[in-house]
Amino acid sequence: MPSAEDCQAELSPQPRVASPGIAAKSSHHEKDKTMSRKHFVKFAEHISCIIDEKERKSTAELVARVCSGFNYYFDYAKFMRACCVDAT
């Protein structure tokens, strides 16, 4: 089983590195590094289908922490409601 540090390292956003022979993307494509509402909606749709309430809540909290690191405007309470989880 991986350690907590291993899991944290895997969840940390990694810088994009161009493959050999392929030019790096221009700054125009930098927005690709942020998650948007459409990503949050898809996560919430799937999380809300988890039948076990405790598992749904813990999954929603984990995904919310990750998503908030990718988008400054991420709304935690709104995401939790979309996941059918009580945010308290």
Model confidence pLDDT, tens digit, residues 8-67: 444 444 444 444 444 444 444 455 567 788 989 999 999 999 999 999 999 999 999 999
Confidence of residue 71 (pLDDT cuts 50, 70, 90): confident
How many structural domains comprise the chain? 1
In a domain, 39, yes or no: yes
Helix axes 53-70, 37-47, angle to 10 degrees: 170
Q: Is the pTM of this model over 0.75?
A: no
In a domain, 24, yes or no: no
In a domain, 56, yes or no: yes
Interatomic CA distance for residues 71 and 35, integer angstroms? 6
In a domain, 26, yes or no: no
Q: How far is CA 85 from the centre of its chain?
A: 17
In a domain, 28, yes or no: no
Query: Cβ distance 10 to 3 under 8 Å?
Result: no
